[in-house]
Structure 1
Amino acid sequence: MTFTLYKETRLNCFYVNIAALLKRLPVEDAHLIYLFNQAGLFYRDTEDEDEFQISPYYRLLDDFVYGLFGARLHKTGSSAGDDYMRTLKETLANGKSAIIESDIFYLPYSGFYRRTHFPHALEVTGYREGTFEICDHYYEYHGFLEESELQAVFDASLDSAFYKRLYVWFLKKTEGPAPEELTPAFCKSVIQDNLANMQGAVTYDCPSGSYPGLAAFVPICGKIKSLKTIEEDSVKFKAASYLYEGFREIANSRYHHHHFLKAIGEHALAESYLEADQSWMVAANLLMRAATGNQFQAFEERILARMERVKQKEADNTALLQQWLDRRTAGPSDDVRKDESTTA
């Protein structure tokens, strides 16, 4: 299979693989801008006492993949390593490349091999005579792993703290009607959905029991304050890691939403989201500095002060979205650009 390592440093390891699959349909880079359009926020606790989730994504990407590009994401989960290997081989035998999951700690080619545990996603593009071809777009790696090596990765990952099941994803072009062209109505719906989430609505795939939108800042800041009181280092740094990765992903979502807004001609609003991106990144970097020296108490005041600025920026952007919609109460406006070439 021909392949291209897709380089986009502001997409997470799963999304960059989705982008790589879409480019083979093919989908142009300029059209991928419309896919990564969510700029929401939610916090939720999980069943595990020392785990929680922070995310800007309240809706599965699958809906947009189908609506914009006429393709479907299919996934199959396995709780046993040998079943997972079988699913991967079946997917590849059908001529599809596949996205797989693993704990990065067990990937032999990774710089984090045997050093850091963290969930990761990568693409497998082929299998021949006991050898798998790997494209890890996130880390810009192309190479090969023997079946025994990859089987060991699957088995170990299922025993790690991150996975009870592993999923294989592949993309399939539908045989139905071609996707509709990008319309002002679609652009308006994206902004409506982001606004609803930030105003506190639990919509689409936002988990029940979560704190959506601006309400998420209360439990997030509570987690920041708790870092200095956690005695066990492994639990403390796990919580800090969840916060850091969450902040980075929220920043990335604002960055991509800024590109979406620019693409539809909303340059002033786009700049405001770029400022939000930068503010979340500052918060993430402060967390990293605190974790590096185990100085959570010393950095707490600075991190919380930054979070107040982040919250105010998010409140300002939410108000700007409301004003944008208020000006269009009669329906989609002609000043939202309609891209006639968006169909894939």
Structure 2
Amino acid sequence: MNMQPRSEPKEGEDCFTLCVSSILAYHKVPEFCSVWKQCGLVYTEQGTEETARISPIYRATEKDLQHIHHIYLQIYRTDDQSSVVSHIKQLLLQGEPVIVWLDVFDMKYNSLYQLRHFAHCLLLVGYTDGQFEFIDEFYHLKDTIDEQTLINALDLTQTEMIEEGTQYVYNVVDSTQAVMDVQEQDIYDVIQMNLEVMESQHSNVLTTDHGRPLVNAHTGLEALDRYIDHIRHCTADVTLLTDNYVEQMYQDLSRISNNRYLFTYFLQQGISYHPSIEKLIYKYQYVAQRWKLVSNMALKSQYVEGEKRQHMLIRILHKLEDVRPLESELIEISHMILAKNDQEIEMEYL
């Protein structure tokens, strides 16, 4: 298949959304970034400081793509090495680009090669004579990788993704039934869906983006308040501010920033339906910038230690306290838009 790296990514795309966008663009699906619709806040904690996480995602990714747009994400999970490689080859021969999750420890071009085990995804777009052709949109790179190196990299055992329970994970995107005509009621539906999460409703039916139920989850502004309290507690004890802790913080905050940027592409489909949609877009873009600023501070904190790291985390804490009223304003604008729409909107999380 004659796929090439996209000329320019959009603000907010990460390695996974870049892969999905590339497939949709290859199949000539217009406005491909508008398919991302969920925009919430979810806080979870499993009893230790380093397990506290905050995420914008509250339902399975495949449900997000199916809703309105009828794009189907097939997720394959297996522990059988031979079956995953043979199946990927079969998919490629059928002309299907394959999104693979792999460990960058084995990828020579990656900055973490032979340094750290970390999950990353890219597109496989061809196979010839023992060589897989791949596109890594995050690095804007098209290259080949030999079969044995790919087999080694596909093993997620030493990455955080092994928590999902399988050694190998790969995806195929089916856009043959894609519907890109977003109706007025669709816009209200999605705004309502996110609003209810941000107002801490429906927390008993939340899932991860991989579809697993969340336990002891808190949502919306309550989630942000709990996360702020959590950071406040950790800044009081410098021993808690480990390398793993601040790196995880950077990943979480960056993901929230990306999520708010992505949601604006969906909202742009509704500008003609309500005069305040454009105002909501500008506010989300501004809030995304604030989250990005905080995530960059978390990134910088990885390169300092001890009291310097503690001082950096205190600054992050204050920035998050500034973000909190901005998220509240998003809720207010959403209510104002929905006040013009009296139809009852059904929630579909699972």
Find out whether 1:312 has 2:314 as its counterpart.
no
Q: Tell me if 1:198 matches 2:198.
A: yes
Match of 2:111 in 1: 111
SS of aligned partner of 1:17: helix
Give the alignment partner of residue 247 of structure 2, picking from 237, 241, 257: 241
In structure 2, the partner of 1:327 is 340
Change (3 A) 1:267 1:181: closer
* 1:329 partner SS: coil
Does the CA contact (< 8 Å) of 1:227 and 1:296 recur in 2? no
Q: What letter is aligned with 1:19? A: S
Q: Cα–Cα, structure 1 residues 83 and 52, in superposed 2: closer, same or farther, change >3 Å?
A: farther
Structure 1 residues 191 and 136 mapped into 2: Cα distance closer, same or farther (>3 Å)? same
Q: 1:74 maps to which residue?
A: 74
Contact residue 42 and residue 219 of structure 2 kept, 8 A: yes
Contact conserved, 1:87 with 1:168, CA < 8 A, in 2?
A: no
Contact 2:200 2:222 in 1 (8 A): yes
Counterpart residue number, 2:153: 153
AA partner of residue 229 (structure 1): D
Determine helix, strand or coil for the equivalent of 2:120.
strand
| C-alpha distance 125-93 of structure 1, shift in aligned 2 (>3 A) | same
Higher mean C-alpha displacement, 258-267 vs 12-21: 258-267
Given the alignment, which residue of 289, 292, 301 partners 1:281?
Answer: 292
Report the equivalent of 2:274: none
* Aligned residue runs from structure 1 range 65-214, under 5 A: 65-155=65-155, 157-163=156-162, 164-165=165-166, 166-173=168-175, 179=179, 181-201=181-201, 202=203, 203=205, 205=207, 207-214=214-221
AA of the residue aligned to 2:195: L
Q: 1:180 to 1:151 in 2, by over 3 A?
A: closer
Shift of the alpha carbon at 1:15? 1.1
| CA distance, structure 2, for counterparts of residue 125 and residue 285 of structure 1 | 33
Matched residue type, 1:117:
H
> Which residue is equivalent to 1:337?
none
Measured after TM superposition, the shift of residue 68 of structure 1 is 4.5
TM-score, scaled to structure 2: 0.84
Question: Any conservation in 1 of the 2:118–2:159 contact (CA below 8 Å)?
Answer: no
TM-superposed CA distance for 1:91, in Å, is 2.2
1:252 and 2:258 matched: yes
Q: Alpha carbon RMSD of aligned pairs, Å? A: 2.5
Distance 2:269 2:56 in 1: 20
Q: 1:227 to 1:85 in 2, by over 3 A?
A: farther
Q: What does the per-residue CA deviation read over 1:184-222, in whole Å, with 9 as the maximum and x for residues that have no partner?
A: 111111100110110012255352421111111233224
Q: For structure 1, which segment, 64-73 or 276-285, has the greater mean C-alpha deviation from structure 2 after superposition?
A: 64-73
Unaligned runs of 5+ in 2: 209-213, 272-276, 346-350
Q: State how many pairs are aligned.
A: 325
SS in 2 for 1:117: coil
Alpha-carbon displacement from aligned partner over 1:264-312 (angstroms, at most 9, x marks no partner)? 2121121111121111112112222333212232223322211111111
Q: Which residue of 1 aligns with 2:304?
A: 293
Whole-Å separation in 2 of the counterparts to 1:161 and 1:250: 18
- Structure 1: distance between partners of 2:290 and 2:338: 25
Change (3 A) 1:330 1:127: closer
For residues 153 and 302 of structure 2, the distance between their equivalents in structure 1, rounded to whole angstroms, comes to: 28
Check conservation: 2:118, 2:160, Cα contact below 8 A: no
Moved more, 253-262 or 114-123: 253-262
Q: Could you say what secondary structure the match of 2:35 adopts?
A: coil
Code of the aligned partner of 2:262 = H
Q: 1:89 deviation in Å?
A: 2.1
Counterpart check, 1:18 vs 2:31? no
Look up the match of 1:341.
none
TM-score of the superposition, structure 1-length normalised? 0.85
Aligned partners of 1:17 and 1:123 also within 8 Å: yes
The alpha-carbon distance between structure 1 residues 171 and 301, as it changes in their structure 2 partners (threshold 3 A), is closer
Residue 257 of structure 1: CA displacement? 2.3
**Other-structure match for 1:27:** 29
Q: Which is further off, 122-131 or 285-294?
A: 285-294
Residue identity (%): 22
Q: Name the SS for the 2:244 alignment partner.
A: helix
Name the structure 2 match of 1:336.
none
Gaps of 5+ in 1: 333-344
Other-structure match for 1:338: none
> Cα–Cα, structure 1 residues 75 and 293, in superposed 2: closer, same or farther, change >3 Å?
same
Change (3 A) 1:93 1:33: closer
